[in-house]
């Protein structure tokens, strides 16, 4: 999986669409890759815990040289004699196999395995959804800034022509230098706006590259037009909120299941632990070290081991009560997240509706401002209107265009917020 991601990371993104940026981020963003790694780590932890059900085989060996052997006085019919036990040199090798039959910890591991895997999958899903939202907003932000640059360039072109016209009229003695100076000021301000916007675009590109985990050395470019944003602004505002669509809600439900299993585990702690064992020993004894391994005295044991907990100072009772309280706490977390989701959805849908109204209003204002500017421009050329009137109409037009772009971006961002609140953002990997 990660080898494939590395190959993708080396591919340049040129004229990338929004979907291409999202796909790239889902394969290469460090946070997403970490979530996938966490899934794999969790799977290994689960398998490690469940391995306790399998036979556990071990081997141990020892070697002893008795400088002073154990002795025992033996008295028979009033006569005492000294007996020496064992050999001066001993060695052993023991093979041991243990098998668990009843163990509360292993029962808990078996029952919780499904929910632990589910929890980590849901964490990955949450990171991917956040990635889709963040990358989409950053993409639209760059698109908006580039369209703002187009508007500023159009404004500069108009101002340059106005400056040229004002200069010609001033040199011809038709007007005083006030119009010429105002044109210079307006052009300088627009050039400063262009520089500021260009620098911000560089930062926004860098931010988007960070979001998607872009490592390529080639130039990172995007493909977009204003139509790309305008064609995808509407959403069904009558959709019914379903908590199950929200991964945050499902995560808490998974935690509730895990906490319930933990409560059961504390109750299972009253159960005995039952295991079986078998061992086989190779035992060697000899007075001479060189002959130690000449003869084997084997031993073998097969048995069951039962441990019954009787009294633990009330610890198990307190652990059960604690686990039950933690279950209640998770229930309150679920109730709280429901309220938060409701509030988030209401805020998102209200913001979306307000931004949709702003977009329609600003679209009309652009058309009106353009019509007013064209009319005043003709009147100014005919000497009916003053240069101040022309400047005012030109400023109104630029403001209306920028307001329209800002409202378009705000609408798209709020649409993403609505979809995220509804839980309808899907990630196809």
Smallest Cα–Cα separation from 48: which of 106, 99, 122? 106
Q: Which of 250, 282, 307 is the last residue of a domain?
A: 307
Token pair in block for residue 167? 């200069």
Containing domain of residue 77, as a range? Answer: 56-101+274-307
**Which residues does 112 contact at the CB level (< 8 Å), separation at least 6?**
258, 261, 262
Whose structure tokens read 């369209």?
147
Nearest by Cα to 21 from 129, 127, 131 = 131
Q: Which of 276, 271, 270 is nearest to 305 (CA)?
A: 276
Say yes or no: 118 and 78 in one domain.
Answer: no
Spatial separation of the C-alpha atoms in residues 271 and 264, rounded to whole Å: 11
- For residues 17 and 139, the answer to whether their CB atoms sit within 8 Å is no
95 and 107, same domain (yes or no): no
Q: Are residues 381 and 362 in the same domain?
A: yes
Instruction: Please name every residue paired with 91 in a beta bridge, in sequence order, or none if there are none.
Output: 63, 284
Residue 420 to residue 122: CA distance in whole angstroms: 15
Of the residues 255, 285, 307, the one at which a domain ends: 307
Q: Are residues 293 and 375 in the same domain?
A: no
Tell me which long-range contacts 203-210 makes (C-beta under 8 A, separation of at least 24).
204/138, 204/141, 204/142, 204/145, 205/142, 207/138, 208/21, 208/135, 208/138, 208/139, 208/142
Rounded distance between C-alpha atoms, residue 315 and residue 230, angstroms: 64
In terms of domains, do 185 and 63 share one?
no
Could you tell me which of 370, 373, 369 has the C-alpha nearest to residue 385? 373
Helix boundaries (H) for 213-289 = 226-230, 247-268
Domain CATH for 412 = 1.20.1600.10
Three-state SS annotation for 24-72: HHHHHCHHHHHHHHHHHHHHHHHHHHHHHHCCEEEEEEEEEECCCCCEE
The answer to whether residue 226 is domain-embedded is yes
Find the angle CA(51)-CA(52)-CA(57) to the nearest 5 degrees: 95
> Do 140 and 262 belong together in one domain?
yes
* Number of Cβ atoms within 10 Å of the Cβ of 335: 11
From 307, 330, 354, give the residue that closes a domain: 307
Q: Residues 200, 151: one domain? A: yes
Please report, in tens digits, the pLDDT of each residue of the chain (429 residues total): 333 443 355 567 788 888 899 999 999 999 999 999 999 999 999 999 999 999 999 999 999 998 887 777 777 777 777 777 778 899 999 999 999 999 999 999 999 999 999 999 999 999 999 999 999 999 999 999 998 999 999 989 988 888 887 788 777 776 677 877 888 888 899 999 999 999 999 999 999 999 999 887 677 888 876 666 777 788 888 889 999 999 999 999 999 999 999 999 988 888 899 999 999 999 999 888 888 898 999 999 999 999 998 888 888 899 899 999 999 999 999 999 999 999 999 999 999 999 999 999 999 999 999 999 999 989 988 878 888 888 899 899 999 999 999 999 999 999 999 999 999 998 754
Question: From edge to edge, which strands make up the β-sheet containing 299-307?
Answer: 56-65, 89-102, 273-286, 299-307
Q: Is residue 429 part of a domain?
A: no
Total count of domains within the chain: 2
Whether residues 87 and 49 fall in one domain: no
């Amino acid at each position: 999986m990660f080898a494939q991601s590395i190959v993708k990371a080396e591919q340049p993104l040129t004229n990338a669409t929004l979907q291409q940026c999202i796909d790239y981020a889902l394969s290469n963003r460090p946070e997403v890759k970490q979530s996938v790694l966490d899934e794999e780590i969790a799977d290994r932890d689960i398998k490690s815990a469940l391995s306790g059900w399998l036979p556990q085989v071990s081997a141990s060996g020892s070697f002893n040289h008795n400088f002073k052997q154990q002795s025992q006085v033996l008295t028979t019919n009033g006569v005492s004699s000294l007996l020496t036990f064992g050999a001066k040199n001993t060695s052993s090798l023991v093979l041991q196999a243990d098998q668990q039959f009843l163990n509360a910890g292993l029962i808990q591991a078996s029952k919780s395995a499904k929910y632990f895997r589910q929890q980590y999958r849901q964490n990955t899903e949450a990171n991917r959804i956040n990635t889709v939202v963040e990358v989409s907003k950053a993409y639209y932000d760059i698109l908006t800034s580039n369209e703002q640059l187009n508007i500023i360039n159009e404004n500069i072109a108009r101002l340059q022509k106005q400056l040229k016209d004002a200069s010609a009229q001033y040199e011809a003695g038709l007007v005083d230098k006030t119009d010429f100076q105002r044109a210079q000021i307006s052009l300088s301000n627009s050039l400063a706006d262009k520089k500021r916007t260009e620098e911000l675009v560089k930062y926004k590109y860098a931010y988007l590259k960070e979001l998607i985990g872009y490592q390529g050395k080639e130039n990172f470019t995007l493909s977009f037009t204003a139509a790309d944003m305008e064609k995808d602004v509407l959403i069904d505002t009558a959709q019914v909120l379903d908590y199950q669509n929200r991964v945050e809600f499902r995560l808490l439900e998974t935690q509730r299941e895990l906490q319930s299993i933990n409560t059961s585990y504390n109750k299972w702690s009253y159960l005995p632990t039952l295991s079986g064992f078998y061992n086989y020993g190779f035992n060697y004894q000899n007075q001479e070290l060189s002959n130690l391994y000449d003869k084997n005295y084997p031993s073998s044991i097969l048995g069951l081991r039962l441990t019954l907990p009787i009294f633990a100072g009330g610890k198990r009772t307190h652990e059960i009560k604690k686990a039950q309280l933690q279950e209640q706490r998770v229930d309150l977390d679920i109730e709280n997240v429901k309220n938060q989701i409701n509030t988030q959805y209401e805020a998102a849908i209200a913001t979306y509706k307000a931004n949709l109204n702003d977009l329609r209003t600003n679209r009309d204002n652009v058309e009106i401002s353009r019509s007013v500017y064209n009319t005043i421009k003709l009147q100014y050329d005919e000497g009916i209107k003053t240069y101040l009137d022309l400047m005012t109409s030109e400023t109104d037009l630029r403001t209306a265009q920028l307001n329209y772009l800002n409202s378009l971006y705000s609408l798209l961002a709020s649409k993403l917020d609505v979809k995220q609140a509804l839980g309808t953002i899907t990630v196809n990997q």
